Chain A
Amino acid sequence: MKIETAAVVGAGVMGAGIAAHLANAGVPVLLLDIVPEGTQDRNALAAGAVAKMLKTDPAPFMTRRAAKLVTPGNLEDDLDKLANVDWIVEVIIEDLALKHDLYKRIEAVRKKGSVVSSNTSTLPLAKLVEGQSARFAEDFLITHFFNPPRYMRLLEIIAGDKTRPEALDTLRDFADRRLGKGVVLCHDTPGFVANRIGSFWMQSAINEARDLGLTVEEADAVMGRPIGVPKTGVFGLLDLVGLDLIPKVDASLAANLTPDDAYQALRRPWPLFEKMIKDGYTGRKGKGGFYRLNTDGGQRVKEAIDLDSGAYAPAGKAALESLDASKSGGLKALVAHPDKGGRYAWNVLSQTLAYAASLVPEIVERVPDVDRALQFGYAWKYGPFELIDRLGAADFAERLEAEGREVPALLAKAAEAGGFYRVHEARRQYLGTDGTYTDVPREDGVLLLADVKLAGEPLARNGSASLWDIGDQVACLEFHTKLNTVDPDTVAMVEKTVRTVSGGDFKALVIYNEASHFSAGANLGLALFAANVGMWPMIEGMVEGGQKALRSLKHAPFPVVAAPSGLALGGGCEFLLNSDAVQAHAESYIGLVEAGVGLVPGWGGCTELLARLAADPRRPRGPMPPVATAFETIGMAKVAKSAFEGKEMGFLKETDDITFNRERLLADAKARALELAEDYQAPEPLELTLPGPSGKTALDFAVRDLLAKGVATPHDETVAGALAEVLSGGPAADMTEPVAEKDLLALERAAFMRLVKTAPTLARMEHTVETGKPLRN
């Protein structure tokens, strides 16, 4: 059985988001909700949800075209259409009676072998199937998505005793490959895994902040970055998810957990919290929460609440010695520090981590599942057991003991064995509940560079990049700078890569890394610094060196597949453009954004985008259309917000593939590279027919118009002029004489150098390096 079509019942934020993500995966979805009273459109709820999602940022849809795969409907007129779908997801309110009733209606129409799941976060599966038919129970699961479904990687799946193994396998495989989710199979226990531990952590973090007298800013500064938690910490996170959600989750946990569960002891009333919800201070979606933006007096001032008085005051920066200590000494130094920040970190972590250790195997079979759940569901850098290992399992247990606290059995085993994880014979292993180590499991078709690294040394390495042998005669070029910006060392490694792969026993190359971002572009800071000290020859050398390196990749005697995930901007994008093929993670953000910093792409970005646009048979022919499109795309520094948009904008070819599951990206790219390696022929140097000065004039007119309208700034005009000069093929080009690749690259260089010497470009570069944002000057 395969899942080709789906239906989502319930068009609230979660239901609609799940439908959108199914559509992202190319699955036609029926989105149903009740018929609202007093409207003409009986599908208003579902249709409205789709319309709203098209305006939501970050976008639930990966491309506007995906929205067309969602068919809005209602539960009265369209129930019978459920007979056509393979998977029905129920995402209605958490009301057992309503759900039971709905399930009966679904059961009456759905086809044989289809799967039904609930997105409940609070109701046990056992109760959901109570009173349902045996067939229903066999085909039923819980699929617990996290908000927003497109972006949060965790999917908790809970199967009941009666659930058919095939139904589980089908859904699990679909969620993994097609939706790209990190699936964690949980037991049917309250809150499942992520929220069980996450709620405990939040409650503990709130209590301890109040007891120790930390400010909101201090608590978040401690509970965020130093621990590997997003910088929202705990109070910022509450604002993000909505304060009003918390009492519901809390009530459900309290009702379903046993009275002796450690969570029960953490619960205590907090009048300020209740008052905030009552007054509409429910977080970012409301009037504000623990933080708010005060716009009185025309200025945007970030304010934080006083946890005692409830009064807001301008948010300050936390200054704690423990925070300073953690900068050099890490997590250990933080929890060892005697100040209130150190005590806070220790109290919250020790409670939470010990709690987590007490829950395996009750809530989930294996230690790594807990870690994955918190990483994918709460965006923690390290899961609870990895955190314990970072603190030292033995030290952690010892301190608990010294404080007269209980040491969970599993923790005691880890303390004894030397941690929850180890590397054994080049494989990562975890500690089982029996006290022995087992390999961390990998699904079929998952290849991780992290695992390759455990097995051996790189073929080559410098401070910015490494070259790995990933088997089957395929090499992998990995960047490893901050944000994977490209610097002279990266470029040197590219050159070395071309020599190594050509000369060695390799068939193909994949460019890939496992950081959050493929590459944010050239190292702007370095270029700016060199410009500030007036080292123009060095900058020109960086431009030329990058061009050379990328050209040598492009024309190398082996195929190159780039496999981006996250940002692939500027120089990072130019790596994609100079590759034979791209295997893109669906969550790839691709663009030539140089204009934002007052420059033009200088590593073949202009040239290659032009070539791709000109070669695309679905686009208009003639010399001008590709130039105009590239001018708009580069000139406005447009960024594709998914791999699909990357295709629409011409950064990716129609033949390029997209992978949804981050962990499958490398294997897919490698397979693609091997495919290309058969009978591989390197591309010939490009020749492009370009309009020349007449084309430039047309582009200049367009810019002057924008300037007159006040849309463009004077420096935008300068940058656009330089870009137009490049894209139109330079002063010597005309439609009868094609322009050679090397001449276009020379134009890119010249335009780049002209711009980088201007004060407004330097101001833009500086602003972007300092703030990460563009400067409009």
Chain B
Amino acid sequence: MVTYAAPLEDIRFLLNELLDYDGTVAGLPGYEEASADIVEAVLEEGAKFCENELLPLNRSGDEEGCIFENGVVRTPTGFKEAYKAFAEGGWTGLACDPAYGGQGLPKTLQFILEELICSTNLSFGMYPGLSHGAYNALVLHGSDEQKTTYLPKLTDGTWAGTMCLTEPHSGTDLGLIRTKAEPNGNGAYKITGTKIFISAGEHDLTENIVHLVLAKLPGAPPGSRGISLFIVPKFQVKADGGLGPRNGVACGSIEHKMGIKASSTCVLNFDEAEGTLVGEPHKGMRYMFTMMNVARLAVGIQGLGLAETAYQSAAAYAKERLQGRALTGPKNPDKPADPIIVHPDVRRNLLTMRAYNEGARALALWCGMAVDVAEKHPEPETRQEADDLVALLTPIIKAFFTDYGFEATNLGVQVYGGHGYIREHGMEQLVRDARIAQLYEGANGIQALDLVGRKMGQNMGRLLRRFFHPVQAFVDEQQGEPRMAEFVMPLFKVLGRLQQATLHLAQQGLKDPEEAGAAASDYLRLFALTALAFMWARMARVAVDGLEGERAAFYRSKLATARFFMTRLLPQSSGHFAAIMAGKAAIMELEEAAF
């Protein structure tokens, strides 16, 4: 069994000491009541639910998987009950609008809760996660009628949602989709086509499933400019809101996957299924992107969540597992062997996980709070600034968190040694579950292209300003603080490299998009390391002032981990920088036939 307790102390530290949650989010219109105290209280409840209800189902769900029979998907034992309790606990509507029965709590809270859910049962989290994605798309782009029909049910969790994008020949390139939508004369449409890889596409947790489907209208413009978004419920909805007859959508099969086996991944066949258009024709991609951006952040959090469990489990194991002696002589002379945590390399593995996790959590919360500011702040300029930051950080959080999440879960297995490879310990499941997050919601290579191809150049680099200026200002501000030198100098250096690489790529990319493409993944990683260095330097700034107080131990740990990050992880940035500056030549040289 894995070891997990929600990292509430770290979260409190971030909310109250690092990111001024109360001054940033709790002051926003609509969130006046959602003070840090309230948020923490809700989180404590959430932590209990995750630890007590979801974690115990994680291993069994993995073993049992979903079962597809006669067109119906059965989720693993216990999922139905857990989902019922989840919905009844109000967790499905946590950040939903009170107008639809939601609790109206900040997105920040939703963000944190998602980490806890992913740490304890990623497969389970997929179901409410997809529903919330559908909620987000409809709340922004749906008609009043669509909202009143669907949002209360999605909020209270009696219905679930999906996002139906991918088709057999159309994954990353959605411009290729073939699913058709024909007007049926009464204002609705008949949707016909096949969608694959549809998470939560069919299951037994809810009475209805609301599919959001991308399809093409007759005579639509070519490519992604001609895609429209439709709502296609599994059961048609009657005028009174009750369930009507079964719609023309059916699950054809479910996939047999490497991980997240308790999440049903479906082939959905639409056969003249009745749907209604969301928003205007041909704007589906745009609507879908608002949903996808939120979803991308959520997938990033999956990496963090799994890595946190891997770390906690590995740390506990390393303290218990007695094997061999410390290199400098026995530490535990009464016992036959020392715990393996005495070994530098084991510590290196553990600290790598820990430093990434805590840095990533800080970055995620900074971004999560910006999501709330972008939505609710009264000043349009402040909203824009926050929105820019979120847009910039989204590909970084999605790709970097899931990449390191996979690395960290692997390190977890490593600390367990051969036992990590044995299913019953649960460590290998984390690796398998983590792998998908690097692929879906836009593979990580696509995220890197999004960063260099779209986000970097957007408004001549305005998005970048939201990151670079605060970092620059922090560096300038801290330069006279001797206790901070060991954190600020590395940050200053990596910032300089990132600035140089950014300008280089912006210029090269204008001349030759392949230059930008060849550097994209290294650039994203360099950016992520810089962002984490910023977070670590800021956390260190709080910690250096706290060393004399009652929470000295906590701050000492922060500083030690900060030092580890700055000296042992951040130097990777040099390699990425060198790779970026090397250009595309060596990547493009080899002839296709030679591969």
Contact = CB atoms under 8 A, between A and B. Distances in A.
A533 B502 contact: yes
A654 interface: no
A221 to B, nearest CB: 13
B506 interface: yes
A762 B221 contact: no
Contacts of A698: none
Given A319-B225, A533-B468, A770 B459 contact: yes
Given A319-B221, A321-B222, A534 B462 contact: no
A462 to B, nearest CB: 13
B471 interface: yes
Given A319-B221, A319-B222, A321-B222, A533 B503 contact: yes
A188 interface: no
A528 B225 contact: no
B574 interface: no
A762 B503 CA distance: 17
Contacts of A769: 460
Contact of A532 (B225, B462, B471, B498): B462
Contacts of B506: 529
B472 interface: yes
Interface of chain B: mostly helix, strand, loop or mixed = helix
Nearest to A318: B221
Interface string A489-529: 00000000000000000000000000000000000011011
A530 interface: yes
A272 interface: no
Output the residue of A321, A526, A765 with the most chain B CB within 10 A. Answer: A526
Which of A532, A538, A765 has most B Cβ within 10 Å? Answer: A532
Contacts of B12: none
A530 B472 CA distance: 13
Contact of B460 (A321, A536, A538, A766): A766
B469 interface: yes
B499 A533 contact: yes
A766 B459 contact: yes
Interface residues of B, number: 21
B237 to A, nearest CB: 33
A529 B503 contact: yes
Interface in A658-705: none
A532 B222 contact: no
B572 to A, nearest CB: 21
A439 to B, nearest CB: 36
Given A319-B221, A321-B222, A529-B503, A534 B460 contact: no
A533 B461 contact: yes
A756 B11 CA distance: 38
A770 B468 CA distance: 21
B465 interface: yes
Nearest to B502: A533
Interface in A722-777: 762, 765-766, 769-770
B472 A534 contact: yes
Interface in B429-481: 459-462, 464-465, 468-469, 471-472
B531 to A, nearest CB: 14
Contact of B464 (A319, A525, A526, A532): A532
A262 interface: no
Contacts of B507: 526
Contacts of A526: 507
Contact of B468 (A321, A525, A534, A538): A534
A531 B472 CA distance: 11
A711 interface: no
Which of B221, B222, B462, B499 counts the most chain A CB atoms within 10 A?
Answer: B462
Nearest to B220: A319
A446 interface: no
Contact of A528 (B221, B222, B460, B472): B460
A766 B468 contact: no
A531 B502 CA distance: 12
A12 B6 CA distance: 84
Contacts of B460: 525, 528-529, 532, 765-766, 769-770
B499 A532 contact: no
A765 B506 CA distance: 17
A662 to B, nearest CB: 30
B225 to A, nearest CB: 5
A530 B460 CA distance: 9
A530 B506 CA distance: 10
A535 interface: yes
Contacts of B469: 532, 534
Given A532-B464, A532-B465, A538 B503 contact: yes
Contacts of A533: 461, 464-465, 468, 498-499, 502-503
Given A534-B472, A534-B499, A529 B461 contact: yes
Interface string B166-192: 000000000000000000000000000
Nearest to A538: B503
Contacts of B472: 534, 536
Nearest to A528: B460
Contact of B499 (A319, A535, A766): A535
B461 A528 contact: yes
Interface string A10-22: 0000000000000
Contacts of A770: 459-460
A319 B507 CA distance: 29
A424 B161 CA distance: 70
A528 B461 CA distance: 8
Contacts of A531: 465
A316 to B, nearest CB: 10
A769 B495 CA distance: 26
Interface string B127-144: 000000000000000000
Contacts of B502: 533
Nearest to A524: B460
Interface string A311-324: 00000000101000
Contact of B465 (A321, A525, A762): A762
Contact of A535 (B221, B459, B503): B503
Contacts of B503: 529-530, 533, 535, 538
Interface in A518-575: 525-526, 528-536, 538
B470 to A, nearest CB: 9
Contacts of B459: 766, 770
Nearest to B470: A534
Interface in B498-519: 498-499, 502-503, 506-507
A765 B222 CA distance: 35
A534 B469 CA distance: 6
B29 to A, nearest CB: 23
A534 B462 CA distance: 11
Contacts of B499: 533-535
A240 B573 CA distance: 57
A723 B498 CA distance: 33
A751 B464 CA distance: 24
A420 to B, nearest CB: 32
A484 to B, nearest CB: 16
Contacts of A535: 499, 503
Most buried by A among B461, B472, B499, B506: B461
A535 B469 CA distance: 10
Interface of A: 319, 321, 525-526, 528-536, 538, 762, 765-766, 769-770
Interface of B: 221-222, 225-226, 459-462, 464-465, 468-469, 471-472, 495, 498-499, 502-503, 506-507
The 9 closest A-B pairs by CB, nearest first: A532-B461, A534-B472, A319-B221, A532-B465, A529-B461, A534-B468, A533-B468, A528-B460, A532-B464
18 contacts: A525-B460, A529-B503, A529-B506, A532-B461, A532-B462, A532-B469, A533-B461, A533-B468, A533-B498, A533-B503, A534-B465, A534-B469, A534-B471, A534-B495, A535-B503, A538-B503, A766-B462, A769-B460
Given A533-B464, A535-B499, 8 more contacts: A319-B226, A529-B461, A529-B464, A529-B506, A532-B460, A533-B499, A534-B495, A766-B459
